[in-house]
Structure 1
């Protein structure tokens, strides 16, 4: 099992950041480099408890599908999505949100397993962990940008 932990500070209210993180539309925007699209289940809007989404994306030159489900949700502080089907042995992605002094701390704990025995472990160590860390950080950068811009527009009106 591999675990990636990232933290991002966002100058926006917790509810806005929580909603941006659950937004399928923002997720697709943040993963434009891999052409990630929601193709089944919930395909737009905000993910809610029990929602399933099937994603199609191009990683390492190969189109892949991954289905996930929102398995836990406590608005606006936490939600969890887990892989139902895909290329990994498992994925469990916990999203935590905490507001402090008008800033929201968004923390991701992304745990996954790789198949293919020693070859999978070697691929993970050399390439995959770095790739997934960058993928999550790029996604969070877009969430931060959208939330902060949205909050700024609201404050100006």
Structure 2
């Protein structure tokens, strides 16, 4: 299993960043390069506690689907999305939003994931996913930052 964290400074208050982070349209705009779409569950607007969404995207030339659920939701401090069906053995993404003391937000993503397929999945994590996943979250965070600061 792999764990990584990404911290992003955003010049907007925590409640705004929290809300922007839960908007389907912001997520799909940030993932446009992979053709990501919400195709099931909540497919537009803002996610809330207990909501599920099924995402479809193309990564590594293959079409993937992942259904995630908002399993924790405490505005404006944090929320968690977890895979309930999809390509990972485990996917747990905690989103934290803390005031920076200057009217902005420090957004911190903590992701725990594990690839399927036992030893082959471990090799995929080490060779590919440990670099690919942080880059993907960084692209998503750039879209959240741009939207929240607009």
Which whole-Å CA distance do the structure 2 matches of 1:20 and 1:68 have between them? 18
Cα contact 2:114–2:125 (8 A) shared by 1: no
Q: TM-score, normalised by structure 2?
A: 0.97
Please give the secondary structure, in 1, of the residue aligned with 2:87: coil
Which whole-Å CA distance do the structure 2 matches of 1:111 and 1:26 have between them? 22
> Which one has a bigger Cα radius of gyration?
1
In terms of fraction of residues, the more helix-rich structure is 1
Which whole-Å CA distance do the structure 2 matches of 1:130 and 1:123 have between them? 11
Show the counterpart of 2:82.
Answer: 82
Mapped pair 1:17 → 2:39: no
Stretches of 4+ aligned residues off by more than 3 angstroms:
none
Please give the secondary structure, in 2, of the residue aligned with 1:43: coil
Please give the secondary structure, in 2, of the residue aligned with 1:130: helix
Q: Which runs of 5+ in 2 are unaligned?
A: none
Root-mean-square deviation (Å): 0.7
Which whole-Å CA distance do the structure 2 matches of 1:129 and 1:45 have between them? 30
Q: TM-score, normalised by structure 1?
A: 0.93
Alignment of 1:6-45 (within 5 A): 6-45=6-45
Which whole-Å CA distance do the structure 2 matches of 1:68 and 1:123 have between them? 22
Show the counterpart of 1:153.
Answer: none
Please give the secondary structure, in 2, of the residue aligned with 1:12: coil
Distance apart, 1:87 and its partner CA: 0.6
Q: Which runs of 5+ in 1 are unaligned?
A: 150-157
